[in-house]
């Protein structure tokens, strides 16, 4: 069982819709991450939150808007997405943003843009 929970598992949306992806962890981790993954490729880092503050934004388009309401929750708000944004979106967490501890991943949300 994964200790990082993501909802929904699947999402289909039109290019004009607004939707949100949610991620939750109860391991007491202080760093949380959003990744985008295309089929058979490694995950690409999008955002990093450390102690509920945005620490890294990997030049992600503004149609993706992250939010960290508290230390256990991470959201990714989506608006006016493009077909090329169809992918698996993975959330991860680790004890700290820095250091050599592993990141733990959720099962992801598979997003399809019509």
Contact residues: other proteins, CB under 8 A: 2, 4, 6, 31, 40-43, 45, 48, 55-56, 88, 90, 92, 94, 96-108
Q: How far is the CB of 82 from other proteins (least distance, A)?
A: 23
CB of 47 to other proteins, least distance (A): 12
The helix/strand/coil state of 105 is: strand
CA distances from residue 37 to 11, 16, 88, 98, 108 in whole angstroms, order as listed? 15, 22, 5, 22, 9
Cβ proximity of 48 and 59 under 8 Å: no
Residue placing its CB nearer to other proteins in the complex, 81 or 106: 106
Closer by beta carbon to other proteins, 6 or else 113: 6
Asked if residue 53 lies in contact with residue 34, where contact means CB atoms within 8 angstroms, the answer is no
Q: How far is the CB of 89 from other proteins (least distance, A)?
A: 10
């Amino acid at each position: 069982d994964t200790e990082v929970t993501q909802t929904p598992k699947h999402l289909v949306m039109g290019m004009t819709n607004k939707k949100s992806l949610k991620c939750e962890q109860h391991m007491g981790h202080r760093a949380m991450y959003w990744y985008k993954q295309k089929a058979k490729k490694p995950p690409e880092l999008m955002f990093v939150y450390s102690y509920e503050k945005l620490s890294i934004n990997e030049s992600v388009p503004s149609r993706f808007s992250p939010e960290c309401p508290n230390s256990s929750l991470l959201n990714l708000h989506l608006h006016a997405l493009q077909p090329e944004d169809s992918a698996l979106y993975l959330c991860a967490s680790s004890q700290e943003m820095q250091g050599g501890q592993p990141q733990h991943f959720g099962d992801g949300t598979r997003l399809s843009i019509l």
